[in-house]
């Protein structure tokens, strides 16, 4: 799912939009822009550049949406020339922050450059990106820290390069941004112990994995071995300890697995487990909102974006759903297109359809038994 056109008309409209691009129809300029995945550039429909392969093209309602998705403006057709003042302000603020993630830039300074009040810029920035300028800058620093640590830099060097003014600051933010201390992240998670167990359910196999702090992963699949390999890929250097699904010696893990299985069997209304998951500020906002969706109901990506105060960040909401590390516990399967189409699902579209039908049937049954 992306912050492209209205979900109800996306597929049908894309055919007409692609036709306009092929014709270089200037009459459609300002109505949408198209982006090319292989180049990372977006253009107006009338751009005179060579036409790309259709398979590499996606469409966005405006330049701001394309840039939220990570594309940059074409220097030849200048698709931002007719952008609104709000779009230009957000684009300029993002470019300023992107230019030097380690630099401390205040909201007041960004607002002064945009020629508007700090409150106004903050509101526009959140509407377009889903986060505040401060949260956006923090995510940039965290990304730079991760890259430096993965490249083999020392913790102190990586912290300095990422723009953390003091070692205490990087350790304060590490738990949220890395999920572990910077030193442990540099070792690829080595030293972190993860216990896991799997069980067969009416929806295939489910695997629950946990650290000492709580459940860090819930996966769905067709067999236990495939799920174990997926966990190894996700936590390559952690100590992984597989438990028998009904063995002894790990009561917490067995109880959490039983809670998930009970949910899938329609015995329990939802998994009730402690979590040890971390994401960006927007991801955590989205995940919290997903947990508020009532059992047996669904919400559209647009409704979730509106609920977290970022109505223009539909693509970012979809990305947060796709990066949900704990299936079912954070019910990303309850998010659908505005037209009711189930869209994509990490664990398979068919499984998502079955989960939604299952929840609806159980909800109807409970209402019949106990009343509303």
**pLDDT tens column, 179-211:** 545 555 545 556 678 999 999 999 999 999 998
Q: The domain 84-188: what is its CATH number?
A: 1.10.10.60
Count, residues in the chain: 372
Task: Map residue 321 onto helix, strand or coil.
Answer: helix
Residue 248 neighbours by CB distance under 10 Å:
8
Cβ proximity of 319 and 286 under 8 Å: no
Tell me yes or no: is domain 281-370 CATH 1.10.10.10: yes
Is pTM beyond 0.75? Reply is: no
Distances (CA, A) of 190 to 144, 187, 237: 21, 5, 5
| Backbone phi, psi, residue 204, to 5° | 100, -160
Q: What is the C-alpha to C-alpha distance for residues 244 and 121, in angstroms, rounded to an integer?
A: 54
Q: What is the C-alpha to C-alpha distance for residues 348 and 300, in angstroms, rounded to an integer?
A: 18
- What pLDDT sits at residue 6? 40
Q: What is the C-alpha to C-alpha distance for residues 337 and 11, in angstroms, rounded to an integer?
A: 12
Distance, CA of 112 to chain centre: 31
Q: The domain 10-73: what is its CATH number?
A: 3.40.10.10
What positions carry a catalytic annotation? 43, 332
Q: What ranges do the domains of the chain cover?
A: 10-73, 84-188, 193-258, 281-370
Cβ proximity of 254 and 247 under 8 Å: yes
Considering the four listed CATH numbers 1.10.3720.10, 3.20.20.140, 1.20.1630.10, 3.30.160.70, the one that applies to the domain covering 193-258 is 3.30.160.70
Q: What is the C-alpha to C-alpha distance for residues 209 and 118, in angstroms, rounded to an integer?
A: 43
281-370: same fold as 10-73? no
Query: How is residue 112 written in tokens?
Result: 């002064």
Tracing tokens 């009343």 back to the chain, one arrives at 371
User: Which regions of the chain are under pLDDT 70?
Assistant: 1-12, 26-27, 82-85, 101-103, 143-191, 245-249, 269, 366-372
């Amino acid at each position: 799912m992306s912050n492209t056109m209205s979900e109800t008309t996306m597929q049908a409209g894309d055919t007409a939009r692609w036709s306009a691009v092929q014709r270089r129809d200037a009459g459609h300029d300002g109505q949408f822009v198209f982006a090319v995945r292989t180049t990372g550039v977006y253009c107006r429909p009338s751009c005179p550049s060579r036409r790309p392969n259709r398979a590499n093209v996606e469409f966005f309602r405006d330049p701001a949406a394309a840039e939220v998705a990570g594309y940059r403006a074409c220097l030849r057709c200048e698709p931002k020339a007719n952008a609104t003042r709000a779009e230009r302000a957000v684009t300029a603020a993002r470019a300023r922050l992107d230019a030097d993630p380690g630099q401390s830039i205040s909201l007041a300074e960004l607002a002064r450059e945009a020629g508007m009040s700090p409150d106004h810029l903050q509101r526009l920035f959140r509407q377009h990106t889903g986060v505040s300028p401060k949260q956006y800058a923090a995510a940039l620093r965290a990304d730079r820290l991760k890259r430096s640590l993965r490249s083999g830099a020392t913790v102190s060097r990586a912290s300095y390069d990422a723009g953390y003014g003091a070692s205490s600051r990087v350790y304060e933010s590490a738990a949220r941004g890395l999920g572990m201390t910077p030193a442990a992240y540099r070792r690829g998670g080595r030293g972190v112990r993860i216990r896991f167990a799997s069980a067969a359910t009416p929806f295939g196999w489910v695997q629950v994995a946990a650290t000492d702090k709580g459940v860090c992963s819930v996966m769905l699949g067709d067999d236990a071995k495939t799920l174990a390999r997926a966990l190894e890929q996700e936590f390559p250097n952690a100590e992984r300890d597989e438990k028998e699904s009904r063995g002894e010696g790990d009561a917490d893990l067995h109880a959490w697995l039983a809670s998930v299985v009970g949910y899938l069997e329609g015995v329990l209304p939802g998994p009730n487990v402690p979590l040890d998951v971390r994401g960006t500020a927007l991801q955590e906002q989205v995940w919290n909102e997903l947990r508020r969706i009532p059992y047996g109901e669904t919400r559209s990506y647009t409704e979730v974006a509106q609920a977290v105060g970022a109505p223009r960040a539909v693509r970012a909401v979809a990305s947060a759903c796709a990066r949900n590390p704990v299936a079912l516990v954070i019910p990303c399967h309850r998010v659908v297109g505005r037209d009711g189409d189930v869209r994509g699902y990490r664990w398979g579209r068919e499984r998502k359809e079955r989960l939604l039908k299952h929840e609806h049937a159980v909800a109807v049954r409970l209402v019949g038994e106990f009343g509303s």
